Chains A and B, each alone.
Chain A
Amino acid sequence: MEDVSHDHGIDAATIVEQVRSVVAEGRERYPRSWTPQATGWDPVADGDREPIHLVESLHFLHAHWDMSDALHFRGRGFGPKAIVHRIFAKIVNIALSDYLGQEHAYRAAVAQSIDAIAYRLDEVTFDDERALLKSTREDLIDLARHIENRFDVDPARDESSSSK
């Protein structure tokens, strides 16, 4: 795309056409399509809920589930208080090491589970909404076709059938 010429003036429509013609030659490597955009229908607005995996508390959970920094913090300095603190912390850590290890694994599993559930819920929700919109749109195009066919029916035949 970088070889788009700039010798043709500054007309945006010309540039758009030139970009399209370069693309038609298929020289680019990056993706050429993506999921469809919203149609702009009002029913879509009802489905415009924020995905669960974007909820702030979930991001907080991911950022803080580990907590091993806090567990291994030994304090600063070499005063009597700091030394006592470190000794005490070491004793507690040794005594509770099995429990703390299990709790760490448990927190990781909880965070992973919540994440998986959030993504799965989002997938299911959006898949349902897309499927619903797709079927609704198809039904309505059928409906429009049906209505138009009704309009195209010979009026004379309609009159004769109604007079019977």
Chain B
Amino acid sequence: MTEIGTKLKPVPKRPAVAIVTSYWGDARTEAVGASRVLAGALALHADVTVIHLADDEPATYADSVFEVRRVSVRGAEPTRAMLLRQALAARNGSGDVPAAGLALLSEYDGEAPGVLEVLEATDPVSVVLVGSYQPWDLVALGRGHRRVVTVPFCSERPLFASELAALIEAADVVGAIHPGEFAEIAAAAPERASDVVALDIAFGSNAHARAEELAGIGKIGPYSLLVRSFPEGGPRAEATVGCEVLRYALDGFPVAEVDGNTWWLTAKKGIGPLRVGKNRVNFARLVAHAKVMVDVRPQGPVGRLAIEAMLYGVPIVVPDDSAAKAHAEAANGGLWYRDEGELFDETRAIIKTPLGDRLAEQARAYAEKRHGDIDAFTARVAALVLGIRSPVDS
């Protein structure tokens, strides 16, 4: 213990980093969760200021270890912008739209000139643009003046090639949140393909969940897990197959279903509610001991649940064209479906053949190597944002 009066060594000054994002606050979405994980990883190496783009009055407040500067977005019409974006994407795919269409989208996105003022005041050594919604003058950010990193979350909303190219152009380096983003970024800015770095976001797995299955579920034997929504309040599959239908398609193989805080179990004796606490630990127990996890939720930009299931060695069946599919494909740890028919086929293939065990092994090996080491992840983030050489890379 240091004696009173002893002169303490000065604490070395930590670099200042700013994160500019609309994904902050109370929403229980994957994008908000991923922003917080990134900010947390950075906070181990730097003082982090979060510049939160919001349709609200400017404010400064502390949120955990972060200083949050809320910046107002003026003139935004988010519903109109989102609807027009969806409609254009439905007609054009991710290909480009007429310049006037982009101008209209930009107008609907509003503007947040306050971001530059905050950056000037805080003078960070690095700026991280999290998410593709950046309604402010990226050119004025001045690439070269400070290190700029963009993490575009390509799968969060329809993103047109020229929008993605503008985000990449503003950045020194780009962080890919899932393997599928490499191809999208390479298509939008082929000359910058070498500047894309895999973030391989890490999540912890629960040792208790791994060791103990959910109380009472053991007596039904192996089961599949259908996830319609989790956590409560997150995105939910509005109308899709339920556990009874899936069990019918699986020739009576038991199915547990998680729909927010409503959990069901359907087996030979019929359907009934699972009377357990609806918390993350019990959810992890349910996932960790499932034969297969079928995820039918509207997918987020990260594929967190897919990664977590694979960490437990559980093969996944996930929607095509999603971040989760990118993980399943990269890991060879799961299959992906375009419609409910394929969902049934692939789930049957996993539970009725040795394929499931092989996918499970590969899923676990991949997830543990790429997503299981939180220290390596924080080192990667520091290397990406601050240019600190990662001991893992070295």
Taking Cβ atoms with an 8 Å cutoff, the residues of A that contact B are 1-2, 4, 6, 10-13, 15-16, 19-20, 22-23, 28, 30-45, 47-48, 50, 54, 59, 126, 130, 136-137, 140-141, 143-145, 147-148, 150-152
Contacts and interface: CB of A to CB of B under 8 A. Distances in A.
Contact of B335 (A6, A19, A38, A50): A19
Contacts of A35: 239-240
Nearest to A138: B87
Contact of B329 (A13, A30, A43, A145): A13
B345 A1 contact: yes
Contacts of A144: 84, 87-88, 90-91
Contacts of A54: 262
9 contacts: A1-B345, A12-B332, A13-B329, A28-B341, A34-B339, A37-B296, A41-B83, A50-B262, A148-B101
B355 interface: yes
B98 A148 contact: yes
Contacts of A143: 84, 87
A23 B341 contact: yes
Contact of A37 (B79, B87, B237, B344): B237
A16 B90 contact: no
A2 B348 contact: yes
A9 B12 CA distance: 53
B349 A19 contact: yes
A125 B341 CA distance: 27
Contacts of A43: 79
A126 B331 CA distance: 38
Interface in B234-260: 235-241, 245, 248-249, 260
Interface string B323-348: 00000110111111001111011101
A59 B101 CA distance: 51
Given A11-B332, A42-B79, A59-B273, A126 B239 contact: yes
Contacts of B235: 38, 40, 45
Contacts of B262: 50, 54
Contacts of B206: none
A33 B339 contact: yes
B365 to A, nearest CB: 11
Contact of B341 (A4, A31, A48, A151): A31
B54 to A, nearest CB: 15
B84 A15 contact: no
Interface string B87-105: 1101100000110110010
Nearest to A152: B98
B45 interface: no
B355 A38 contact: no
Nearest to A145: B91
B362 A10 contact: yes
A23 B344 CA distance: 11
B86 A15 contact: no
| Most chain A CB neighbours (cut-off 10 Å) among B86, B238, B352 | B238
